Structure 1
Amino acid sequence: MGQVAGGRKLGSLAVAALLLACGRPAATPRSPVPAPGEAFSGERARDRVAALMQLPRTLGDPRRAAAIDELAALLRAAGADAVDRLDHAGVDPWTGQRFAMTTLIAQVRPQAPRQFLLASHFDQRPWAESDPDPARRERPIPGANDGTSGIAVLLELAPLLVDQLPPTVGFSLILFDGEELGRPGAGPYCAGSRALGDALAAGRFPRVRAARFGVVLDMVGDRDLQLLQDPRSRAALPGLVDAIWSIGQAAGHAQFVRAPGPDLVDDHVPLTAAGVPSLLIIDYSYPAWHTHADDLSQISAASLGAVGETLRLALRAHTW
């Protein structure tokens, strides 16, 4: 997940009033097509986290190519008309090890005149520098919350949006690779969103560039979820931040706390810099962050449901 601006590494509706291991693991389920008006299911999203945990996504793992193929298939099953791949590379600033990465960019109704985007990172951190056991700090973390919860919400939310949004509305589903490629005090982090920003500047992915706004999810599944308002999100989309938090609270989701959070650098920052104003939904106050305790036991269906249902209500309420 991102980093505190100038500091150490960290994770990541009144909207109508706004612009608003080798091979493919068989355990990964496809969600059924939702009935009209169906609400977001936190229980199903938690099951999705458990299934996604079977996909090896740690930077440098030789099995991750098959996992990326599976993620692309899951995006198609969630309603994407097309899935593009953005290949990029980066270097561990401490060791010089080079990593090949692939960010996935899926399009839902790419011909629709109104576009937005939803994004999360899928890579799992190869180091656990915050682990209390020094002997385990150079081993990959499980990444149940940091690297899996966000994509689980997006994959469960997308079919609901396909069913419930007007046909004139399309959206991009972006799964960033390499968000975790960075070291405390050295950066650089957010490799996938920075690579996408460069691609947009070069004229690629016009549907992404046409998005009116973006929403990035990072670490949204922990049992004690408290979603504060990121200052850079407020700077980019103040009305949209207010609207989402208001709708979340009105729907009874106390996880949305109307108070400022720390200044975070996550994938929303390169997106905003590239011309797509974006906000971040994240709980940075997560004790298991970058430790081996970030496993499935940390994940709450209620937390996932609060985020997914709030976004469903927000996007349905928007005057398209």
Structure 2
Amino acid sequence: MHSRIRTHAAATAAPIPTASVLTASVLTAGLSAVLLALSACRDQPRPPPEFDGAGAFGYIQTQVGFGPRIPGTEAHSRMGDWLDSLLRQRADTVIVQSWKHVTATGDTLPLRNFIARFNPSAEKRLLLLAHWDSRPVADSPRSQDSTKPVIGANDGGSGVALLLGVADVLKRTPPTAGVDLLFVDGEDYGHFTEAPADVLIGSRYYAANQPAGPKPLYAVLFDLVADKDLQLYQEGNSLIGAPEVVELVWATAKDLDYGGYFISSPRHTLIDDHLELQKAGIRAIDVVDFDYPAWHTPDDTIDKVSAASLQVVGDVAVALVRRE
């Protein structure tokens, strides 16, 4: 990896607090039963998918239409207002975390996290998350112009679209378990090595200001999940920090015949929002396609992503919710 890469540079896994061990044990104890149930269901006819990949793709189109969603810009503010409105039409409860972040260069960024809660009184809870901001500069080594901002059709746009598609599903058919959809801000603003406080801002804020009540059984971060050439390898820090959650997610994908997309081997070890949650004792993993040539370039545009890829990952996300 290049030393200048911020979000997805090679990383040492965050230590997992002792408080998370009980949750890990519960998940591990239940995983064998879950895998057996998945195996038993493979030969049964599947109902039509609840998730609408084409509808989710439309959410990417809307986001791209705002322009780059860089914190401190009008496009970012408008995008946040749109997201807030959509979530209030779908979720049982919406929590908005608003704060100001002062960067290493002295800029003040108005930031917002959105937490859309379904079945908020449930003790058993799952957390699905994505970042909703886009990067100010296209500084990938592949980029032809590092002065331009990133459009973020895939990096930022796809994770939000996927969570909104899940919100549509849960609005139609409420979940048995509690589900929180977390949209974090300020993930992609700064430089990971030179100004690490200016990245992963929203997930760090959430980790320090979690809603009252039980912690989620686990969390799944969705990042870069709509590449037309979808390849989701198991991420290294996820395997270190929450291996039982990785196994559960990839087994669920295999049961849906998506094993060709969810590849059961490690490939990249990344710094991403899941690490901030791991530090707070949440069993968090990263579902991410880092084999995406347009990452952090001006070419991260709508023509690089597809409804079909969103359908694959959305089906897995909904299956995780329904199994609880």
User: What band does the TM-score fall into relative to the shorter chain?
Assistant: 0.7 to 0.9
Aligned with 1:216 (options 185, 201, 221)? 221
Shift, 1:2, TM fit: 2.5
Give the letter for the 1:85 counterpart.
Q
Q: Does 1:266 align with 2:272?
A: yes
Alignment of 1:195-234 (within 5 A): 195-200=205-210, 205-207=211-213, 210-234=215-239
Match of 2:203 in 1: 193
Alignment of 1:84-233 (within 5 A): 84-91=96-103, 93=104, 95-130=105-140, 136-164=145-173, 166-167=175-176, 169-183=177-191, 185-188=193-196, 189-200=199-210, 205-207=211-213, 210-233=215-238
Shift, 1:244, TM fit: 1.4
Q: Does 1:76 align with 2:84?
A: no
Q: TM-score, normalised by structure 1?
A: 0.82
Structure 2 gap segments, 5+ residues each: 1-5, 13-27, 35-46
Which secondary structure state, in structure 2, belongs to the residue aligned with residue 305 of structure 1?
helix
User: Equivalents in 1 of 2:271, 2:280: separation in Å?
Assistant: 14
Alignment of 1:17-96 (within 5 A): 17=31, 38-56=49-67, 57-91=69-103, 93=104, 95-96=105-106
User: Equivalents in 1 of 2:179, 2:33: separation in Å?
Assistant: 14
Q: Deviations over 1:257-302 (max 9, x none)?
A: 0011211111111011112211110011110000010000001111
Alignment of 1:261-300 (within 5 A): 261-300=267-306
Which secondary structure state, in structure 1, belongs to the residue aligned with residue 155 of structure 2?
helix
Shift, 1:255, TM fit: 1.0
Match of 1:235 in 2: 240
Q: Does 1:313 align with 2:319?
A: yes
Which secondary structure state, in structure 1, belongs to the residue aligned with residue 207 of structure 2?
helix
Give the letter for the 1:5 counterpart.
A
Q: TM-score, normalised by structure 2?
A: 0.81
Contact 1:15/1:244 (8 A) holds in 2: no
User: Equivalents in 2 of 1:15, 1:108: separation in Å?
Assistant: 26
Contact 1:88/1:195 (8 A) holds in 2: no
Contact 2:242/2:283 (8 A) holds in 1: yes
Match of 1:28 in 2: none
Shift, 1:226, TM fit: 0.6
The 1:166–1:6 alpha-carbon spacing in structure 2 relative to 1, beyond 3 Å, is closer
User: Equivalents in 1 of 2:296, 2:29: separation in Å?
Assistant: 34
Contact 1:144/1:295 (8 A) holds in 2: yes
Contact 1:15/1:243 (8 A) holds in 2: no
Number of residue pairs matched by the alignment:
288
Q: Quote the sequence identity (%).
A: 31
Which secondary structure state, in structure 1, belongs to the residue aligned with residue 97 of structure 2?
strand
Structure 1 gap segments, 5+ residues each: 8-13, 21-35
State the Cα RMSD in Å. 2.6
User: Equivalents in 2 of 1:19, 1:55: separation in Å?
Assistant: 45
User: Equivalents in 2 of 1:312, 1:132: separation in Å?
Assistant: 34
The 1:86–1:274 alpha-carbon spacing in structure 2 relative to 1, beyond 3 Å, is farther
The 1:41–1:62 alpha-carbon spacing in structure 2 relative to 1, beyond 3 Å, is closer
Contact 2:143/2:298 (8 A) holds in 1: no
